[in-house]
Structure 1
Amino acid sequence: MLSAGEILYDRYQLKEKLGHGAGRQTWLAADLSANSEPVVLKLLAFGEQSQWDDLKLFERESQILRQLDHLRIPKCRDSFSIDDRILWFGLVQDYIPGTSLKQLIQDGKRFSETEVRRIAIEVLTILRDLHSLNPAVLHRDIKPSNLILGADQQIYLVDFGAVQDRPNVEGTTFTVVGTYGYTPIEQFGGRAVPASDLYALGTSLIHLLTGVCPADLPQRQLRIQWRNLVTISPALADWIDRLTHPDLEQRFQSAIEALDRLNSEPPIAFPPVERPKNTRVQLQRSKKRLEIVIPKHAQDDDPRSEILGLMMAGVALPILMFAVPMFVIMLIMNALSSAIWILILGLIVFFMFINPRFQRTYVKFDHREFIVETQRFNAMSNRMTGITRDIREVRRDANGLITITSGPYRTGYRLHQFGEELTDFEQAWVLKEIRSWLKLKSRD
C-alpha cells in the first residue's frame, strides 16, 4: 500500500491521495528534482485488479498527452514503472490548482445560465482543438469531475484515461469506457465520434444546472427530462437538448457547429413573467429593498378562511395559556378525570395553534443582508440570514424550492430555501423579481 511521504522513482514524494479506483490511484506529489513543485501522479498497479486493457488505456493516455500541447490540458511530464512486489506504472502531469465542477456541486454551488454558457464555450473550444487533430482525439469521459475550475477562473479538461485517437475497426474487440449517465449509446457500442463528446458535455451542463446527476433524472424515449427543474432561456435549453439527443444524427456533428450556434444566440434575458392572478403573495420593491410575504396557501383567495384563522388564533392562544397550568393543578389535586379533559382540550387547541393557516414566509433583501424567515402569528419562529453580496445564485432546485446559494465560506456554500407553498407560476414570478432586484442592486 502506498502512503503519504513515500518517494517513488527517487523523485516524486506522495503528498495527498486525490482519488482511487480498481488498481488505480491518483496522488498530489512533489517533484523533488524541481524544487518540490507540485505534480499529479497517476498510478496503475498491474496484476492486481487491472487487466491488459487497463494497461493499454494507460499507455495510450501517456502517448497522447505527450503529443498534446494545449493551454487547458495538463501536460504530461514523465512516465515510469516500478517493480516493488507490485508492478506500478506511473504517469506524471502538471498540477492545476483549482476545484472540480463536481466538488463545487457537492459543496452546494448551483450554476447560473451565464456561468453554464461560459463553461460550455470554454469546453467546446478545447474539444474543437482536439477533434481537429489528425487523427481526431476523443476524450470519451467528459463529466463535472473531469472539468476543473482553475485558480485563474478558466476551465481545464483533465483525466484522459479513456482517450481515443483512432476509430475502432469493425469486427475487433473494444473496451467500454465512459461514465453512466454521461455516455451516449453509440459509445457503449464502441463507435465513439466527436458528437459523443458533445453529448457528454450536454449532460454535464444539465448536471450543473439542476444539481442532479443525469443518471438520476427521468427519461422519456431516451431523452433526459430536466427542463422543468430549471429556469433558463428556451434558446439555451433547446441547444442543450440538441447536444444530448439520443439519435446521433440529430446532434450537432462538431464542436465548431455547436459553438457557432451557441455564439449566435441572442443575449440572455429573463422572459417576461407577470404577477399571477389571485395570488396572495405580497411583494414590495424599491431600490433599497425587496420584501416578499408568502402565506401558507398563497393561492387561497377566500376571505372567509382568513377571518376564520384570526378567530381561531384569538381563541386558541388564551385557552392554551390557561390549559397548561390547570392541567398541572388538577394533577396535584388528584382530579385525574378533570386533568384528562383539560389535556384533551389543550391538545385540540395546540393543533389549532399549529394550523398552517397561521404560518407565512417572510423574505427580505437589502444592500447589506437578506432574511428568509418562517413566521407564525406574525412572530418569528425560524430565521436564516446571509450577506447580500455573497449571493451566488437564486434558482428553483430539483425539489421545487426557491434556493438562494451564498458563499463560499470556510464551511462551503449555504443554501436558503423557501417557496414550497407557491405554484409554478408564482415561483417563476418570485424568481424573476428577486433576480431582477439583485441585478438592479449591483448597478447602484
Structure 2
Amino acid sequence: MTEATPAPDQGRLRRVLFSGLLGGVIEYYDFLLYGTVSALVFNRLFFAGLSPAVATFASFTTFAVGYFARPAGGLIFGHLGDRYGRKVMLLASMVLMGVASTLIGVLPTYASAGSWAPIMLVLLRLCQGIAVGGEWGGSTLLAAEHAPPARRGLLTGIVQLGGPVGSILSTAVLALVSLMPDEDFLTWGWRIPFLISAVLLALGLFVRSRVVESQVFLDSRAGAEHRRAPLIELLRRPVQLLRACFFVFGATVTQALTSAFMVSYATGVGVGRTDILIGQVFNGTGAAVAMLVATALSDRIGRRRTLIGAALLLAAVAYPVFAMIGTGDPVLLWVALGVFAGPPLGALLAPSAALLAESFDTSVRYTGVSAGYQVAAVLGGGLAPLIGVGLLSLAGGSPVLVAVYMAVACLASAVAVWSAKETKGRDLAASEATPEPVPAARG
C-alpha cells in the first residue's frame, strides 16, 4: 500500500533531519570515540598491572559493555517513546550520552583511584550504551514519520550519516591530540575529545528542542487506545522481530571489526597510531558517501535489492580488507578501509533504517526498531572485537578466520532481507504489520 499524504512542512522537515543528523553525530562521536581510546589508552591506564594481551582483552570487554546495554536502552526509550512521544525521549538520550562522555574525560586512572577507576569507567560506558539504544531508533523514526514516502529512504539515510560523521569527527579530534608526545597524550591529551562532548551536548539540545512531534504518532495516540506494553505486542511476532535483528547484523559486525578490533590488529602488525586514525577517517568518508547513494537507490529499486547487493559485496571484500591491513602498509590499510570496507558498509547500514521503520506499526515502532537494531548491535558489534581477538589467536595471527566471521555475518543479513517483504512506499499510518485479530470462538 502506498501513502497518500499531504506534502510535509519543509521547514519542519529540515529541522527534524538536522536534529537527527546532529544527534547521531553526537551519540556516535562519543560512543565510537570510546572504542578507539579503549585500544590506545584504556588498556594502559585503567588496567595497569595486567599483561598487554590481558589488558587489551579487558579494555575491549568494557567496550562490549556499552553494546550489551544498548538493548536495555532501546527497550526503555522505545517503550516510553511509543507511549509518550519520540521528541522527549530523544532529548533524554542526548543528555545521558553527553553527561556520561564528559565524565569519562575527568575520570581518575588506576594509578590514582585503584580498582574504582575501571568500575567507574564501566558504569559510564553502560550509560553510553543505554543512550545510544534510545537515540538510533528515535531519530530514525522521527525522520521516517515526517518524510514523504517517495524520499523516505534518502531522508532517513541523511540521519544515518550521523554515524560516519561522528566517527570521522572523533577520529579527527583524537588524531590531533595524538600528535602530542606520548607522555602528554597518556597523561591528559586523551581527555580532550571526551570533554568536547559538553560543547556538542549544548548545541544538540538547542537544535533538538525546536523539533516537533510527528503527526503519525499523534494521530495514532489520539485515534486508538494506546498499547500498555509494546514489547509484549512485538513478542507475538517473534519471527518479525528476529528478522529485523539480522537486517543490520552484518553491518554491526563489520563496523566493530573495522574500528575497535582493527585498531588493535593494525597496531600489532606495526602500523602507526596516526596512520590508523587516518584510515578510520577514510572509512567513515567512504561509508558516508555510499549511504546517500544507497538510500536514494533504495527509493527507486526497493530496499531488498539494495540491501542484498550491499551485504553480498561486503561479504566478498572481507578477506581482502584484512589481508591488506595485515601487510602493515599504511597505504594499503587506507585503501582497505576507505575503498573496500567503507562504501559497502554504508550501503548496508543506511537503507536498513527505512526498512526497519516500515516493518512495524506506529504504536510499537520505536520499540521494534530499537530492539531489532540494538540486539543486532550486541550480538554483532559488542562481541565482534572479542571474537576477532580469539579468532586471530586461534589462526596463529592470520586474519583468515576473522574475515570468514565477517563474511558469514553479512550473508546472514542478506538472507534475512531476502526473506522479508518489500516495504518501499508503505503507509506508515496503516496497520499492515499487525496480525489479524483472532476471531472469537463460537459457542
TM over 0.5: no
Find the structure with the greater CA-based Rg: 1
Greater RCO, CA 8 A, separation 6+: 2
Relative to its length, the structure with more strand (as a share) is 1
Relative to its length, the structure with more helix (as a share) is 2
TM-score range for the pair, normalised by the shorter chain length = under 0.3
Tell me the TM-score normalised to structure 1 length: 0.26
Tell me the TM-score normalised to structure 2 length: 0.26
